[in-house]
Chain A
Amino acid sequence: MSEARELPRRVVVAGDGQLGVLAAIALKRSLPACDVLVIGAPPDPAAMADRMPTALPFTNKLHDRLGIDEERLVREAGASHRLVVRYRGWGGMGQEGNAPYGAATDPRLRTGFARAWGIGPRNETAAAPPGSLAEVLAAEGRFALPSGAAGAALAELDYALRWNVPAYRDLLVGEARRLGVQHTRGAVGGLRLDGRGGLASLQIEGRGAIEADLFVDCTGPAAALLSQLPGYAREDWSEALPVRALVFDRPREPMLELQDRITLAPVGWLSELAGRDGRQAVLAMIEGTTQDAAYQALPVERMDVVPIAPGRAAQAWLGNVVALGDAAAHFEPLGWFNLDLAHRQLALLLELLPGREIDPRERAEFNRRAALMADRVRDTLGAHYAAPAASHLGVLDRSPELARALDQFTRRARLPFAEEAPLLAQEHTALLQALGHQRGESALGLAADPREAEAAGAAFAVNAQAALLSAPPYALWVREVLQA
């Protein structure tokens, strides 16, 4: 007979950036009777999950689940939409390619049965889709929310949101207050261990010891709580990821665009995010980049340089401390996976949320899956640096999984299924092509009747035309939401 289990009475979230506040909202919603306290400390500028003004489609689903209304984000947090990442130069001089979000799903995969059972091997060669609606809409500057209705022209569309970080955080803080999350400020210190591998309490200046059943470490790369525990270890990713520093440009003129750009540079890469309150550029630099070379790639007057030492916590959950965001995995914001990973790991914590007494096995299961998530993100970044024109960024380690994916894609047009991967197979395929990896030949592709591809192409064109008709120009769409 299964026993009842006591719920946590108090959870402390260290770090009150956009990640920590959302984690507090999520925990409070899951545990309404639990005290949830957020401790704000001066933010670490290198905490990418707190600093990046954008995430990936998963975050929209998490927002939805946590009652964070997307229209409010548009109205109050300057939110705008990205359908496509445009990669420039990764395949060679002048080469460009689009990596759209979303994937055409066989409706049969949405049934209750298919969700519970799957319908067979997951890594079948994905026939190249005849086109991407996201790409078509982004090119024409038109947008509408994807419709859930089967057969609707926009059914397969997905998107990422960008926002204004302080405004987004303010909105989250308001929501957290409304739910009864408590907040205090001050530097965290005086950690007292509980003798069982975890934390008994911590101290904040001017306040006594704060005890909790569960601590969530959102303090950025320093991992102020997790790193103080016995057994803490970090896996160094510096042999796999070459970027050692970032330069942030000041926000420029507002730019209403459905795509963002990531351009390969001699010193690393340059990302340019559009946004309603200003285009933002970030230059990522490899070791040994001179100031001149950096200035040439991104001419900014006062350089706000942030160091990056990529790696992840070997175990993101030790004792009763769970690290999220840069405290769990710290890496360059290439493709903006930082907050996405943090949010997926937060969702994993919600799935495996422990009682007051934490079982070592649920901690081990979290660590197993959180490590898979982080490592697959590292591999996705690694696929960027393995692009044909990126070899000047260094000779880098490739995990067996990354080596296999690149090999299978370039020879066989095939992507092996990876557990806890950050992208859907179709998104991953599009990304590799946008990066200039040449898709190989599959036996099935060679054997297929070319008329099928033609028919699929024609059907796509019809659907794309319908999508364009149903989607207004993006500026008009935004204006309508703002006036609603």
Chain B
Amino acid sequence: MPLTRPKPVKVVVLGGGTAGWMSAAALAKLLGDLVEVELVESEDIGIVGVGEATLPHIRGFVERLGIDEDAFIKATHATYKLGIDFRDFGRLGESYVHPFGSFGEEFAGVGFHHYWLEMQRQGRADPLGSYSLAVEAALAGKFRPPAEDTSLASTYGYAYQFDATLFGPFMREFGLGIGVKRTEGKVVEVCQDAASGDVTTLVLEDGRTVEGDLFVDCSGFRSLMLGGALGEEWEDWSRWLPCDRAAAMPCSHVTEEIEPFTQVIGMPGGWRWRIPLQHRIGNGYVFASAFMSEDEACSAIRGAAESMPLADPRVLRFRAGRRARSWNRNVVAIGLASGFLEPLESTSIYLTQMAITYLIELFPVNGPIDSRDRDEFNRLVDMEYDRVRDFLILHYHATVRDDSEFWNHVRTMEVPDTLKGKMELWRETGRVERYADGLFYDASWIAVYVGQGFLPRRHDPRTAIPDPAGIGRAMGSLQQAIRQEVAAMPGHREFLTGRAERLAEAP
């Protein structure tokens, strides 16, 4: 234990959106008096805030900050989410759920999906989703938190669907409460040290200055410090992910029930999302401007709305890709300032949270930033982005859709070699390239491969060893057990209401 605490590192976070307040709050909470955090934001600059759907990892973030889950759900009008329902992706008219969960259990060292493929070959299998508790519960509109043991009831996880325009302010309140200093003002100049190139000072419109040791760039797509002042190179991925616009439009609820899942629907020029919150439904059309105009997309999202629009469609512009380095000199970009991947798999907040986690692990505490820590941060961020990128491209490429120029393009495009190898291994052997770091493992790849009708040519030969009737019985009893679990679960709205009532009664 050192006798003297190191002098606090002055961290300046630029940008008051989701990424900015998540970063400021996490740094202040987890690094305590090692840091002094100041966040600069301007009320004139809107936040993007479309990241309404999340992944289960968000729960770890909320918990680690010591935030009460119930309070969080109440404040952000959150609903629970068991996965994503994809429609019209592999083929028009077909759908599947990519669950926060898995399918069946391996048997005799062979993965469940191989047995499923064998039974499917014999015409004796039901859809893969019927062997997943998360999928069945989602489709039945049920929800209950999973068990914390190793039983069937522990085979799913959940995330939240929340109002992103409320999440940012919630994190702001939290951050202000633990000592983050908020400065209102628009940055007009980023000053750098002439010798080192490090950022030293932000100059605000009214002439005030904000100085710091470490700058966190959460300025969104503008990437004011990393992309702007430091000129960090942008790696463009639009040849694989051509969508570059979103038309977002909230609508009122039409039904009493709230689906415990996000919907993603393939559209002629991209896809649209449908995210049910407590008080409204988030809708939006993500499209490629090369294949569809903004007007066409806006009218399409209006036409798709099943209930009263609460606002006109708002168009957001973006590009898929990331900065060559997310941490350069003393500037760390987090969120959109670092990179962007469309929210097809609800990864935006995950990628923000992941970068915050790595920054905290590698946070400079004794003197200047060590370039090895910067390199390590960039290695990890790149690995995370690259894995998500390949997984997203799969959704577009593994398709037979040929009903629009957009789908013709993504179906026939060259994909990154890293994805090509994975898809070939699956196509020829039914095996998933294995990794344990980053995001999306076997169960996710299998859900999308099978869900989009990209079935392998062959599967594990050992599936021929057990008696098919025995496999059929085992798979049938799994379905039976799943049905029983689902039947015992409350409906999603019922669970939400019950929870709210219990909260209100609590002293």
Task: Write the residues of chain A forming the contact surface with B, with a CB cutoff of 8 angstroms.
Answer: 1-8, 30-33, 65, 107-108, 110-125, 150, 350-356, 359, 361-362, 364-365, 369, 404, 407-408, 411-412, 414, 416-417, 419, 441-444, 446-447, 450
Contacts and interface: CB of A to CB of B under 8 A. Distances in A.
9 contacts: A2-B120, A2-B457, A110-B149, A124-B357, A150-B149, A362-B425, A408-B372, A419-B436, A443-B34
A445 to B, nearest CB: 9
A7 B462 contact: yes
Contacts of B148: 107-108, 111
Contacts of B5: 446
Contact of B155 (A7, A112, A359, A412): A112
A241 B457 CA distance: 44
Residue from B101, B353, B429, B441 with most neighbouring chain A CB atoms (10 Å):
B429
Interface in B445-498: 455-462, 464-465
A369 B366 CA distance: 37
Nearest to B426: A361
B376 A65 contact: no
Nearest to A361: B425
B154 interface: yes
Given A2-B430, A4-B464, A361-B425, A447 B101 contact: no
A7 B57 contact: no
A32 to B, nearest CB: 7
Contacts of A365: 425, 431, 433-434
B459 A362 contact: no
B1 interface: yes
Interface in B158-206: none
Interface in B354-385: 354, 357-358, 360-366, 370, 372-373, 376, 380
B231 interface: no
Contacts of A417: 436-437
A117 B56 contact: yes
Contacts of A444: 30-31, 360-361
Contact of B428 (A350, A359, A369, A443): A359
B360 A443 contact: yes
A114 B101 CA distance: 9
A414 B357 CA distance: 13
Contacts of A113: 56, 100-102, 146, 154-157
B120 A6 contact: no
B431 A352 contact: yes
A110 B363 CA distance: 30
Nearest to A348: B434
A258 B23 CA distance: 47
Given A31-B465, A359-B429, 5 more contacts: A2-B121, A113-B157, A350-B109, A419-B435, A446-B365
Interface residues of B, number: 75
Contacts of A4: 118, 121, 461, 464
Contacts of B443: 116-117
Contacts of A1: 120-121, 455
B32 interface: yes
A201 to B, nearest CB: 22
A5 B121 CA distance: 12
B255 interface: no
A361 B157 CA distance: 32
Contact of A351 (B109, B365, B380): B109
Contacts of A30: 108-109, 462
Contacts of B430: 2
Contacts of A2: 117-118, 120-121, 430, 455-459
A270 to B, nearest CB: 35
Contact of B361 (A6, A114, A124, A355): A124
B111 to A, nearest CB: 9
Contacts of A450: 1
B180 to A, nearest CB: 15
A116 B458 CA distance: 23
A113 B100 CA distance: 8
A387 to B, nearest CB: 20
Which are the 5 A-B pairs with shortest beta-carbon distances?
A112-B155, A116-B102, A111-B154, A443-B363, A355-B461
A31 B462 CA distance: 7
Interface string B82-126: 000000000000000000111000001100000001101100000
Given A412-B361, A414-B361, A116 B442 contact: yes
Contacts of A32: 465
B431 A446 contact: no
Contact of A117 (B372, B441, B457): B441
Nearest to A407: B372
A122 B363 contact: no
A149 to B, nearest CB: 11
A335 to B, nearest CB: 22
Contacts of B254: none
A127 B150 CA distance: 25
B437 A122 contact: yes
